[in-house]
Amino acid sequence: MRSLPCRLGRFTLFDHVGRGGMADIYLARSRDEEAGPRLVVIKELLPELALEPRFLRMLRDEATIASRLVHPNVAHVLGIEEEDGQLFLAMDYVEGIDLRELLGQCTKRKLDLPVRYRLHILCEVLKALAFAHGFVSEDETVAGVIHRDVSPSNVLLAFDGQVKLCDFGIASALNVAAVPAETIEGKASYMSPEQARGDVLDVRSDVFSAGILAWELLQGRRMYRAREGESLIELSRRAETPKLAPRGLPEEEVLFAIVSRALAVEPEDRFPSAASLRLVLARYLENTEQAVTSGELGGWLSEHFAEQKLARRRARERVLAALDRGPAVVLTAIRDSQAGRLAEADGWTNVRRARDAAPPPSAPRDSAPPPPVPRDSAPPQSLRDPEPPSSRGATRPSSRPKRGSPVASGAIAFAVTLALLGLLAKLGVV
C-alpha cells in the first residue's frame, strides 16, 4: 500500500479505500486543464498480478473496451494507464456505498432493507448487463461484453439512488493469468458452473451470476457455504442451489420460479438474456405494487445513512482543502554554536544571553592557563557579539553597555566605592 498522499501519473491519491483480489483501491483527484479537478477511483494492480505479461495485455484490451461503455447504470472507466511500470485503472467516483457494505451494515444495525428496494437494485444491475451484452462498437470489432464478476462488491449505490455496475470485463483477464488461488477462490461464489469449469462463456453466464445475487438478496445470506475441506470453486462447478426459504412475500411462488430459472445449471434452461430476466422481474414488481424509483431508493439511503454520508463528505473536504494549501512548511530550529542551546532565528539578544549564561568549557588538566587580557584591550573577535545578517548596511548599534548588563552594574559599583573612599578620607577615617 502506498504512503498517502502521493502522486500517480496525473492523479493525487489521498485515501486508501480498500484492497480486493486484484487491486488496491484509492480515492484520488485528477487535475484536468479543460475539465478542472474531479474525484476518481484508482485501482492499482497488486504486484503479483503486474508480473504476468499475458494478464497485462488482456487487461489493457478489456479496459479499453470497458471505457467505451457509457450508460447511466455503468461506472465509467476513464482508462488504463501506466506509471513507472505500474498499471492502474481510473474510474468515475460514485459517492455512496457498494451493495456488500450496505447488506453488512443492515445486518450489523438490524436494519431491514425492504424487498422492493432489493429487487429494484437487481433490476438496475440487469439494465447495465443488458446494455453491455448488446453493445456493438462503432467499428464493429466488439460485439457484446460479458461482465464475469457480477457480485455485491461491484454494485455501487449512490446516495441519490443511482445504481452502477463496475469492473466490466476485467475478470476475463484472470482466465489467462497465473494468479494466486485465493484471487480466483474469492470470485468463485458468483461464478456460473461453466465459468468455474473454464468453458467458453456467453451472456447467460452473467444471467446465472445475477441469479445468485437475487437468491442472496431474498435470503439475506451467501448462497454457497463451503464445508471443511471443500472449495467454493467446486461448489460453483456443481451448481447445487439451496432451496429458497419462504418469506411471506406477495406472489412468492412466482418470484421464486423466476430466480430458479435464472439459476438453471444448463445455460439453455435459463433466461436467454439479462434483458429478458429484467423484464420478468419488472412485471412482477408492477403486478405486486412493489415498483419503486431510484429517487425513492435514494430517500431510503439518505434516511438511514445520512450521518455516514455527511461524515465521509466532511472528511474528504478536509483532505482536499489540505491538498489545496500545499505541503506544510517545516521549521528547523537554529543551534548557536557557542552557547550550545537552541535559540530563535530572530532572537539575537537571546543568543547573547544564552552565550553569556553558558559555563566556560573545562580546560584540559595539563594545559596552561590562558594569557591575561590587558584591561584596555578589546575582547577577542570570537567573544564579540555576533552581528545578524539583516544588519548589514544598517546603522550599527551603540557599543555602550545596556542598562542592567553586567558591565554597567560593575561600573556603578566601582563609582560608588570610590565615592565612599573619598568621603572616609575627608573624615580622617582612612
Q: Which residues are catalytic?
A: 149
How do strand 334-335 and strand 342-343 relate by DSSP bridges?
antiparallel
| C-alpha gyration radius of the chain | 38
CB-based burial of residue 154 (10 Å sphere; 0-12 exposed, 13-18 middle, 19+ buried)? buried
What is the CA 245 to chain-centroid distance, rounded? Answer: 39
What is the C-alpha separation between 117 and 109, in angstroms, rounded?
A: 18
Judged on CB neighbours under 10 Å (0-12, 13-18, 19+), 175 is middle
DSSP 57: H
**Cα separation of 92 and 21, whole Å?**
20
In DSSP notation, 126-183 reads: HHHHHHHHT-B-TTSS-B----S---GGGEEEETTS-EEE--TTGGGGGGGS---HHH
CA separation for the pair 79, 11 (Å, rounded): 13
Burial code (b: 16+ CB inside 10 Å, e: under 16) for 93-108 equals: bbebbbbebbbeeeee
Q: Give the chain's count of helices (H) and strands (E).
A: 13, 11
The three-state secondary structure class of 15 is strand
- Rounded Cα distance between 330 and 317, Å, is 24
d(CA 287, CA 253): 14
Whole-angstrom distance, CA of residue 42 vs CA of residue 171: 17
Percentages (nearest 5) of helix, strand, coil residues in the chain: 45, 15, 40
* Residue appearing with cell numbers 476518481: 40
